[in-house]
Amino acid sequence: MKSEMDKLIVSSSPHIFVKEDVSYAMRQVIYALIPATLAGVYFFGLYSLLVILVSIISAVLWEAFALILRKKPLNILLDFSAVVTGLLLALTLPPKVPLWIPIVGSGAAILLGKQVFGGLGDNFLNPALVGRAFLLSSYPQIMTSWMEPIHKIGGMVSQASPLTSTATPLAIEKLKLTGYQIPSYFHLFIGDIPGCIGETSALLLLLGGLYLIYKEIVDWRIPLSYISTVIIISLLFGKDPIFQILAGGLFLGAFFMATDWVTTPLTTKGKIIFGIGAGFFTMVIRLFGIYPEGVSYGILVMNALTPLIDRTLKPRKFGEVRK
């Protein structure tokens, strides 16, 4: 009589064992974003928390709607990918956007950036960035309306009204706006400056990114090559490299969006090329584009180029002769 082990059919090696699943990885991303999220709520007030909640809830509902239409099981929602998409989208929004903006943006992110391609794993663009790009191209005035932080580090309260518009540090620097003062490195690093809800605190985003690297959720090569490229191009064009990496959404993009496993290359060399390309296109837009910020479009361009990078750098099989 054969033993139970004899009945097992095992495929040929290599055998890869992964203890973490998608849900685990997504939860780690959420944990890593909590400090920057709380800082955004502190700096910009409780209304920004409402924007975040509406974005997350609507992303989950859009995902459920798409799954029902595609006759897929709703337990797919338990992978938390829709929650991450909604959270990331919210963190890239100005603090005082009307609440229909995150609803529309999350719909574009989930439906156009993810489900239209077949869901998580089949999309080739970062869904949250698709949502942001859709909003920026459709409602540019709303998406470029900023406010001064309500609270400052040290317990200071801003004298500016939440209804008073201001400009981001990148806009002040690029457009040479008068009547505005570029914040110091300290305030750029801490984050009590005008900007999107979750992109202003470089310190907390850096800590969150290092946490993901420590947990081996993301590959360190992408953010390192991305940020290094921004520094090098800044120096080549006579720009302040410290200002360029601290102002805007570079840290949020480099650690939390450019490192998306689905939309980035598979090989080590490909990841480095991806980071360099994202940094290059980010700086091209910052230096020569109509918008002061280029992180979103820089990453999306490289998302689109990822299949080409993977095909070009595809490892040869043993004994295969490259044509």
- Residues 108 and 51: their CA atoms lie apart, in Å, by 16
Residues 38 and 61 in one domain: yes
- Residues 46 and 145: their CA atoms lie apart, in Å, by 18
Residues 141 and 278 in one domain: no
Structure-block tokens of residue 242: 């410290």
**pLDDT surpasses 70 at 85:** yes
- Residues 197 and 105: their CA atoms lie apart, in Å, by 15
Query: Would you say residue 317 lies in a domain?
Result: no
Residues 228 and 211 in one domain: no
Residues 302 and 201 in one domain: no
What tens digit of pLDDT does each residue of 18-47 get? Answer: 445 889 999 999 999 999 999 999 999 999
What mean pLDDT comes out for the span 107-136? 92
Residues 191 and 259 in one domain: no
**pLDDT surpasses 80 at 69:** yes
- Residues 252 and 29: their CA atoms lie apart, in Å, by 12
Helices then strands (H, E): number in the chain? 14, 2
Query: What pLDDT is stored for residue 179 in this prediction?
Result: 67
**pLDDT surpasses 90 at 318:** no
What tens digit of pLDDT does each residue of 222-260 get? Answer: 999 999 999 999 999 999 999 999 998 999 999 999 999
Structure-block tokens of residue 86: 């909604």
**pLDDT surpasses 50 at 14:** no
Residues 259 and 308 in one domain: yes
Residues 89 and 204 in one domain: yes
Residues 148 and 48 in one domain: yes
**Pair type for strands 146-147 and 165-166:** antiparallel
**pLDDT surpasses 50 at 59:** yes
Number of compact structural domains in the chain:
2
Query: What pLDDT is stored for residue 155 in this prediction?
Result: 52
Helix, strand, coil percentages for the chain (3-state, nearest 5): 60, 0, 40
- Domain residues for the domain of 81 are 22-168+184-215
Closest residue by Cα to residue 63 from 2, 124, 10, 131: 131
